[in-house]
Amino acid sequence: MTPTATQTPSKNYVGPLLIIGALFFVFGFVTWVNSVLIAFFKQAFNLSTVGSNLVAFAFFISYTLMAIPSSAVLKRTGFKNGMSLGLLVMAVGTLIFVPAAKAVSYPLFLVGLFLIGIGLTVLQTASNPYATILGPRESAAQRISFMGIANKLAGIISQFIFGGLLLTGANAVSGAASLEKVVTPYLILTGVLVFLAGMIRFSSLPEVSEEQDDTPTDVSIHTSVWQFPNLVLGVLALFCYVGAEVIAGDTIINYGKALGFDNDEAKYFTTYTLYGLLGGYVLGIVLIPKVISQQTALRFGAAYGLVLTVATLLTSGFTSVLCVALLGFGLAPVWPALWPLALNRLGRFTKIGSALLIMGISGGALLPLLHGYLTDVISPKMAYALLLPLFSFILYYAVSGHKKSSW
């Protein structure tokens, strides 16, 4: 039987999406291990909360600095070669962990994390719009949810591997001796990244046209990317979202320790956040767009986040820790719903729009530092009040911000 027009593309999407899924697995692994590194470096170098949160800052600030250049790189290389280049830059960053451990140098570790972030910026700038464009836009959140599952599964695996390697018995070994623990795993990670770079470079991953949804109206009315309110407000919403996700995932180990839990108990707390995220992504795949729309999922995630933040502040002990972890469930629908709403009808501005959205990831650099400051000067629990304005803005974008067509 001759395939129909709708059957053919969907069949062709499977291979490319599996490759993109593998990349999202890499994103998750190297990103979520930061929660372990924050707790590990805090103890190894005897850092303040703000000082240890520089791990997130060094990693995520690269998104702000590299997002626009990433767009220019992708225009020159295309999606596939850009992804391969990003993996190689990440490999340089992971390799730097070896001399950093030998030199007992926290700043050098931060340099390595910064380079990993730069490589990830190129990868994210390419892969997120790729997953959005590669198929019907109304089901883009569903495709990105599949990517999110790969991301969060990798994060859970990274917690068990690196939590076990770096935090088990961390109270007994500190300083230079403890830093030797990072050498072997990061050498292995470097080899994996180089292998993946070669695999992507020589794969059959097709290029897609960023202008496939461009219309005469887009061309005639919009002369600048800043003329799309849904994008600009989407960047701000993404800034709030990534900050909230990093706070919920990367600070929970230190929060647990501040409440009296020891390393062996607290080291897996981030996995609870990741399980929540994973459950949210699975529901997103099942429900979007057949049962609920991307916009409805976004509204639910923001409202749920507000409720759980209040619960975190009003409870104590493990219940409060669990409320932080359960934020993951509400955060899950935000990323996959934000991207298609923010990139809607951008047409020829899609790559630069994607780059601006990537810049919004800098919320993961700046907001955890603010959270760390509030932790040190007020209290570990009340620092989570920072999440209230973040979820409130996401809720505004979900309800009306994404609908704005002009300023």
66, 307, 365 from 355: Cα distances, Å: 9, 32, 17
Domains, the chain: 14-207 (1.20.1250.20), 225-406 (1.20.1250.20)
pLDDT of the residue at 208: 62
Q: Residue 347 carries which DSSP code? A: G
Residue 47 three-state SS: coil
Structure tokens at 305: 């986040």
Mean pLDDT of 286-315: 92
Residue 183 confidence (pLDDT)? 94
Q: 143 versus 242: which is more confidently predicted?
A: 242
> Is residue 90 a contact partner of residue 116, using CB atoms and an 8 Å limit?
yes
- Asked if residue 323 lies in contact with residue 358, where contact means CB atoms within 8 angstroms, the answer is no
The residue with greater pLDDT, 12 or 314, is 314
Q: What is the arithmetic mean of pLDDT over 255-273? A: 92
Q: How far apart are CA 355 and CA 343, in angstroms?
A: 11
pTM, two decimals, is: 0.82
SS3 content of the chain, % helix, strand, coil (to 5): 80, 0, 20
Tell me which residue of 123, 145, 111, 81 sits closest to 282, measured CA to CA.
Answer: 145
Q: Answer whether residue 300 shows pLDDT above 90.
A: yes
196 contacts 87 by C-beta, under 8 angstroms: yes
Q: What is the mean pLDDT of residues 110-122?
A: 95
**Is 395:316 a contact under the CB 8 Å cutoff?**
no
Mean pLDDT on 23-35: 90
Q: Is the pLDDT of residue 241 over 90?
A: yes
User: DSSP string covering 174-217, please?
Assistant: -THHHHGGGHHHHHHHHHHHHHHHHHHHTS-PPP--TTTT--HH
Mean pLDDT of the chain: 86
Q: Which amino acid is at 286?
A: V
Q: What phi and psi values does residue 212 have, to the nearest 5 degrees?
A: -65, -25
Q: How far are the Cα atoms of 7, 137, 355 from residue 207, in angstroms, in the given order?
A: 19, 17, 18
Q: How far is CA 78 from its chain centroid? A: 22
Going by C-beta distance under 8 Å and a sequence separation of 6 or more, which residues neighbour residue 77? 85
Question: What pLDDT digit, counting tens, does each position of 57-113 carry?
Answer: 999 999 889 988 887 888 888 888 888 999 999 999 999 999 999 999 999 999 999
Selection from 184-188, 197-201, 214-218, 294-298 with the highest mean pLDDT = 184-188
Mean pLDDT over 24-44 rounds to: 91
Classify burial at 304, counting beta carbons within 10 Å of its beta carbon; exposed 0-12, middle 13-18, buried 19 or more: buried
Comparing 190 with 220, which gets the higher pLDDT?
A: 190
What pLDDT shows up at residue 141? 65
Return the exposure string of 22-54: e unless at least 16 CB atoms fall within 10 Å of the residue's CB, then b.
Answer: ebbbbbbbbbbbbbbbbbbbbbbbebebbbbbb
pLDDT band at 246 (very low <50, low <70, confident <90, very high): very high
Question: Quick one: pLDDT band at residue 209, thresholds 50, 70, 90?
Answer: low
Q: What residue type is assigned to position 328 of the chain?
A: G
Q: Give the pLDDT mean for 284-288.
A: 82
Owner of token pair 């001796």 = 177
Min mean pLDDT across 17-31, 155-169, 216-230 is at 216-230
Q: Would you say the C-alpha torsion 303, 304, 305, 310 has a positive or negative sign? A: positive
pLDDT at 32 over 80: yes
pLDDT band of 285, cuts 50, 70, 90 = confident
CB count in 10 Å sphere of residue 191: 13
Query: What's the one-letter identity of residue 301?
Result: G
Do 292 and 279 meet the contact criterion of CB atoms below 8 Å apart? no
The least confident of 55-69, 204-218, 365-379 is: 204-218
> Rounded to an integer, what distance in angstroms lies between the CA atom of residue 129 and that of residue 78?
12
DSSP 363-381: HHHHHHHHHHHHHHHT-TT
Is-contact 349 222, C-beta < 8 A? yes
Share of the chain above pLDDT 90, in %: 54
Q: Determine the distance from the C-alpha atom of residue 139 to the mean position of all C-alpha atoms in its chain, rounded to a whole number.
A: 20
Q: Which residue has the tokens 């919920």?
A: 248
pLDDT at 175: 62
Whether 8 has a pLDDT exceeding 60, the answer reads no
Q: What is the dihedral of CA 272, 275, 280, 281, to 10 degrees?
A: 140
